Chain A
Amino acid sequence: MEWKLDGEGPIWAQMVENVKRGIVAGEFGPGERLPAVREMALEAGVNPNTAQRALTELERQGLVYAQRTAGRFVTEDAGTIERLRRELADGTVRAFLEDMRALGFTREEIEQLISDQEGGIDNGDT
């Protein structure tokens, strides 16, 4: 997977965010095995302790489970993945609204812009 680790905050937290998006986007499917710590560290170009911390955090949040020798796997629980999907969407919408308010747009204007854009995207995509 493509790692995006140039944002603010701890690298391990950015890795957690990357994997979460990968899970929701289906890049890591339910029950799929995640790369081992060292492998993930090399891929992302980070220290193995950082990769370890990211995986531990994903485990703590119940998104990933460890099987003693086989490695770590993405949860198979559809409810958990759906909640994660909502959580990421909420974050994106919140950031979007903050940006738009900072630019001085009202709710009506924002809604208008969204439907204008959507028309464009639908035409462009199909």
Chain B
Amino acid sequence: MAILKCAGLSKRYGSVSALEGLDLAVEPGRIVGLLGPNGSGKTTLIKLANGLLRPSEGQVLIDGREPGVESKKLVSYLPERACLPEWMSVQGLLGFYGDFYGDFDRAAATEMLSRLEIDPKRRFKHLSKGNREKVQLILVMSRKAKLYLLDEPIGGVDPAARDFILSTIIRSYNPEAAVIISTHLIADVEKVLDDVVFISRGRLLLNASADDLREQRGKSVDEVFREVFRC
């Protein structure tokens, strides 16, 4: 069964339509790129999937149920902006996450942190921007969730940090879980993706296997994206 299912999903803010009649199903074991220009509805879709927003019309289901307290046990969410208590130490954040989420694997998180050579006693706000992003991703990926929603995980970090983030996603791969990565930096993520979903102005433009798309068009996903969204 699809871990995420959207049917006729729409979200309007007053007269502005952010999502319009979106149909989408994501199966476990897939790494999906949610791709679109700025303002295309990527963040709105992710917020609807974790219950931070309510649909204006249509439905979004997580493992067959509407988002709510139960679905938060299944969904691990990396927001676009940091929302962790910044005064806490990295070590403190591990405890914080462990208290909130029963599926948090502290040993896995500690192991990933040690690879980064980040002192766990340092306060989160004293870390570099790149390291803050990495710590957040480690927290999110160290949960044994069914659905990972990563909103712009590689925006605003240097290429080395990007590589670390992508290899963390590959390393955490679990055939029972799906990963959705929203980004407009397609060239960087495309090798990691099973499927690509293009959205534009709140509508679904394309939903295909990344390799099928490359085969049919004889181009990289990045090139197809540039063609579809040419200004």
1/0 contact trace for B13-54 toward A, CB 8 Å?
000000000000000011100000000000000000000000
Task: Verify if B84 is at the interface (C-beta below 8 Å from A).
Answer: no
Interface residue from B170, B212, B219 paired with A8 (Cβ < 8 Å): B219
Binds B, one of A18-26, A40-48, A115-123: A40-48
A46 — which chain B residues lie within 8 A by C-beta?
A: 170, 191-192
Interface residue from B193, B219, B220 paired with A47 (Cβ < 8 Å): B193
A9 — which chain B residues lie within 8 A by C-beta?
A: 214-215, 218
Task: Verify if A10 is at the interface (C-beta below 8 Å from B).
Answer: yes
Task: Verify if A101 is at the interface (C-beta below 8 Å from B).
Answer: no
A5 — which chain B residues lie within 8 A by C-beta?
A: 191
* Chain A interface main SS type: helix
* Chain B interface main SS type: helix
Measured CA separation A49–B211 after assembly (Å): 11
The reply to whether A42 and B170 form a contact with Cβ atoms under 8 Å apart is yes
Shortest C-beta distance, A66 to chain B (Å), equals 18
Using A8-B219, A10-B215 as known contacts, say yes or no to A45 and B194 having CB atoms under 8 A apart: no
B211 — which chain A residues lie within 8 A by C-beta?
A: 10-13, 50, 53
Closest partner residue, chain A, to B190 (CB atom): A11
Task: Verify if B112 is at the interface (C-beta below 8 Å from A).
Answer: no
Return 27 A-B CB contacts under 8 Å, by A number: A8-B214, A8-B220, A9-B218, A10-B211, A10-B212, A10-B215, A11-B210, A12-B211, A38-B170, A38-B173, A41-B170, A42-B167, A42-B171, A44-B191, A45-B192, A46-B192, A47-B170, A47-B173, A47-B191, A47-B192, A47-B193, A47-B194, A49-B30, A49-B31, A50-B191, A50-B194, A53-B211
Residues of A at the B interface (CB closer than 8 Å) are 5, 8-13, 38, 41-42, 44-50, 53
- A12-B211, A45-B170, A50-B194 given; 7 more Cβ-contact pairs under 8 Å: A13-B211, A38-B170, A41-B170, A42-B167, A47-B191, A49-B29, A49-B194
